[in-house]
Structures are given as structure tokens and as C-alpha cells.
Amino acid sequence: MRPTAADTLKSSRKPPRSVLVALFGALVPLLAALTFMAPPATARTEAVPAATLTEVTAFGANPSNLQMYVYVPAAVTAHPAIVVAVHYCGGSGPAMYSGTEYASLADRLGFIVVYPSVTRASKCFDVSSPQALHRNGGSDPVGIKSMVDWVTTTYAADTSRVYALGISSGAMMTNVLLGDYPDVFAAGAAFAGVPFGCFATTDGSEWNTACANGTVIQTPQQWGDLVRGADPGYTGPRPRVQLWHGTADDTLRYPNFGEEIKQWTNVLGVSQTPAATDSPAAGWTRTRYGAIGDQAPVEAISLQGGSHNLYTYGMGARVLAFFGLTGGGTTPPPAAGPCKVTVTTSAWNTGLTASVTITNTGSSSVNGWQLGFTLPTGQTVTNGWGATYAPASGAVTATNAPYDGTVAPNASVTIGYQANHTGNSAAPTAYTLNGTACTVG
């Protein structure tokens, strides 16, 4: 068959074989160099925009159609911690982001915040159904676990530093997450919640009136068995728990606070008798169980006269101290013996400086210390020396610097801070050293 004009045209366009070989030989090293230089498609810096609340879709198993929002700070650390912040009934992930300080704390400390968001009409998390109260049961906890897995994979997060906190419905979900996935979460903080399993229903209802009214009373063993039954094969360590409740809560009434304490002290195998009791702020009573210091197994904070809407800015720093994310380490300071605090202040129109001398009046050395005090209303710490101070106002904890953590018997250490004020430049009137009240004078 004779070649057509089209065949002739195609043939005329083919380069000689020698040209192709030479061209291929030149391209191979170029392509190799480009491949070496190109960042991987899954590079963590490209996963979501930095310092921006971002919705993530298709993050994994999500049987109840939750939405996932994530905040990754610009200065995210290598192998970051993960904090899951769970919203209240009627809320959302974006509302939790804008209404709490965890994103700004993440900017300072480099962890990643996950904000789960309910899509069901009630905007409440499922803490009632049998599915929710069992590991991999097929409800909200499964979706939240998938969010944690997505962040862990995408950002090579530290799986030993995954935490949950929540308000109201989110507090109840925090307790559920700690029960369902004790191997995932290292600690949790529940603001105005109820014990794990207290809200359980079998009729599809999301609301349990008896539990809300504080009339569901059980023994510590019974409460603990509910938690252990969520993942019956688990025998490893359990997450530490921080509990907050107001005495005047008329939505999830105050008896639930005591029941939570019974539950988690039983689960964690510690005494129901507090190891330490103090008042870190006016009207607050803080009890710690199983140990003293910021990372006790169970920490419970009761707010006298506090309503259901008890969460305020500044509490986030205390949550992170409990989690161990504020640089203080995970070993709580030992109990301090008798102590004395002497304070001198120098004030001007809108500011002041304070010099604080801590004296160990006991017979044993203090090895690692935290000084607690409450600033008068209107005062805000702007900088300090000799210690780190958090939060900047209200009930403040000053934690020793690396060079002044040991105070021998009858020895002293002096620290200080500068603060703004709005008219009241007085010094605090009471101090605690590692939870022990000090003489002031």
C-alpha cells in the first residue's frame, strides 16, 4: 500500500533516534534534580493555612456527620501536642474558637487545636446513646477520634500529648472521650459536666432529667465500672481529669460535681480524701486527689455561687498547666512546709512593680515551687522576673525559674513583676506555696 500524505507528514515529524537518545540523557538528571527539590504533596506546612481556623473534610470515619475545624499556629512545634476543644449545647466549633483563648495560647505554645462541631439540630453532642458510651460504638466519639488521627498523621503529632476539654455538653463529651479512648487522651478538663454514663438513655432521647438535676447517685465503684465498661479490654494507664463546677449551676446541678469526683478517683485508683486543698482565687475551692501540684491525677475546682456559664478567660491557662503544656513539666512540686511571703510595691498612675520574697520557714528544702496569689481587680501582669506568671490577671501562679527552684530551710528567694492597674495598686493579701498557705508580713 502506498503511504498517504498524512503518513508522510507524521513521518517527517519524527526526530532521528540519536536525537531522542541525547534528549533523554539530558532530561534524566534534570528530572531527578527537580524531584529532589520538590516538597512532598503532603507536606504538613500545606495541610491547612497557618493561624487560620479551617474546616477539614473527609478526615476519616464520621458516623454522626460532625464537622472538623482545626487551628494550626504559625509557629507550630515539631511533633505538636493536640488539644480538642468541645463546644456547649447550641454552640459550634467556630463559636468555641472565638469564645475561648485556646487559639491564642496555641500561638504562644505551638500546639494544635481541634474544634469538633455538631450538625444535628440540637447542636448538642451525643453523650446518651449506647453507641456513644462504647469504644468505636458508631457515634460522635468515633468522629472526634478520627479528627485526632488526621492531625496525628498530617502533622506527626505527639500521641502521648493529646488532650480534651469541653464546656457543658462539651464537658460531658470530654468525660465520654476519656472513657471510650483512654489510650488516646492523656488528660481532660470538664467545665460544668456530669459523670461518664450519667446521661445514658435507651429511648433515643438526648436529655436525662434525673442526671441533670443531680439525683443520679452511685458508689465510686459503680461509677468507675461504667467507665471501665466502655473499653473492657483496656488495662493501661488512665487519663488525668480536671473538673470545674459552680455551686449555683441550675442546668447540670452541683451534686454532679461530687459524683464526677467519685467516678474519676475510682477509675484512677486514688483516695477520695484530698491530698491538697487550697483557694487559688476568691470563692474557689480546689481539691487535688492522689498527688499535689498541677498534674495531680484528679483536680476539682468548685466555684462558690458560680452558674452553669462559669467559663471565663484565664481558666485556659490553668487547664494547660494541668495538662502540662505550659513548660512546667509533668512532675508536680513537692509539698512545701511553713513559708513566709514579704511584698513591697512601688506604684504610679497606671502601673506598679512588686518585689516578692519567699522564705522557707520549714525544716526541709523546697525543691521546685509554685506561688499562688490573686491580683486585685484591674491589675494585669505585663512582665516578671525570677518566675513565670500565668495567667496575667486574676488567680496567678508564679512557677520557679530553672535557677531558683531550690529553697533551703530558712533561706529566701526574691521574685518580682510589673503590672498595669486601673486604680487599685495594692499587693495581694494571701499566698500559697505548693498549695500551702504562707504567712504574709
Instruction: Tally the residues of the chain.
Output: 441
Q: Active site residue: 64, 92, 168, 425, which one?
A: 168
Give yes or no for residue 19 having a pLDDT over 50: no
pLDDT tens-digit map of 76-94? 999 999 999 999 999 999 9
Give yes or no for residue 42 having a pLDDT over 60: no
pLDDT of residue 335: 57
* 25-29, 151-155, 186-190, 342-346: the lowest-pLDDT one: 25-29
pLDDT tens-digit map of 300-325? 999 999 999 999 988 998 999 999 99
Q: Which residue has the higher pLDDT, 405 or 373?
A: 373
pLDDT of residue 26: 46
Rounded percentage of the chain residues whose pLDDT exceeds 90: 72
DSSP 64: T
How much is the average pLDDT of 100-119? 95
pLDDT of residue 338: 87
Give yes or no for residue 43 having a pLDDT over 70: no
pTM of the predicted model, to two decimals? 0.68
Reply yes or no on whether 129 is catalytic.
no
pLDDT tens-digit map of 133-171? 999 999 999 999 999 999 999 999 999 999 999 999 999
Give the 3-state secondary structure of residue 67. Answer: strand
pLDDT tens-digit map of 2-18? 444 334 333 333 444 44
Whether 89 contacts 207, CB under 8 Å: no
pLDDT of residue 326: 83
Rounded percentage of the chain residues whose pLDDT exceeds 70: 87
Give yes or no for residue 30 having a pLDDT over 50: no
DSSP string, 308-372: S----TTHHHHHHHHHT-SSS-SSPPPPP-SEEEEEEEEE-SSEEEEEEEEEE-SSS-EES-EEE
Query: What's the chain's average pLDDT?
Result: 88
Give yes or no for residue 44 having a pLDDT over 60: no
Q: How far is CA 378 from CA 381, 397, 424, in A?
A: 10, 17, 7
Give yes or no for residue 126 having a pLDDT over 60: yes
Q: Quick one: the chain helix, strand, coil %, rounded to 5?
A: 25, 25, 50
pLDDT of residue 365: 84
Please, which residues have CB within 8 angstroms of residue 2's CB and are 6 or more apart in sequence?
none
Residue 186 sits at φ, ψ, to 5 deg, of: -85, -30
pLDDT tens-digit map of 237-263? 999 999 999 999 999 999 999 999 999
Confidence band for 329, pLDDT divided at 50, 70 and 90: very low
The rounded distance, in Å, linking the Cα atoms of 104 and 71 is 10
